[in-house]
Structure 1
Amino acid sequence: MDYKELDVWVQARELVKKIYLLSKDFPDDESYGLTSQISRCAVSVSSNIAEGCVRQTAKDTINFLSIARGSLFELETQTILASDLEYLSHDESEILGEIERVKKLLNGFINYHRKL
């Protein structure tokens, strides 16, 4: 199956779009700080899912999926920090819900590959 057809990749890609839309309103002095970091983490999730899907062994695939999961937890932390700094308004719970959905999908995908 092509990785672009996987729900986990599609949802991770949607998350990137939402993170970019949210972070564009961060203060200008954060452009090289939290704005950059949160964007890179969001992109890392979908990128590592894609890279993991083309690996030859389940072990290699799981490694890249685990990196994606680590980036997802970083993204969650950065979203909470952005909220603590009052860069986000009511959007925090919505984006954290999106992150949680991707976490569940990614965990399921990792577990699937562990059984191979």
Structure 2
Amino acid sequence: MAATSPSDDPARRILAAVRAIPHGQVAGYGEVARRAGLPGRARLAARVLAGNEDPSLPWHRVLRADGRIAFPEGSAGWREQCRRLRAEGVRVEGGRVRRERGPQDLDAAVWGPESL
């Protein structure tokens, strides 16, 4: 049986992708999974974050695909995530971060429709 390396562990890859989100920026669970090499595994990314106990992990930078905070509105987690995002200069309105949507890949950036 072949030995597995830490980079083969999906949870470690997801946590590394979360750590790579720059200060003041956010990503969706699906984006995190994709960056970890696990496309289509947004729910796995959410599960890994829910079970994380590392206080240095910037978990607050991860949102739902529509930019909403996943915690129930008004809950302690929701308030904490809003607080942390705002402290990094992220604009949060009603539990949602509005992001400009750029091209998702190089082909879209190069060959996508031009703005009028």
Fold shared, TM-score > 0.5 on shorter chain: no
* Bigger Rg over Cα: 2
Which has more helix, going by share of residues?
1
Choose between structure 1 and 2 for higher RCO, CA contacts under 8 A separated by at least 6 residues.
Answer: 1
User: Normalised by the size of structure 2, how large is the TM-score?
Assistant: 0.29
User: Normalised by the size of structure 1, how large is the TM-score?
Assistant: 0.29
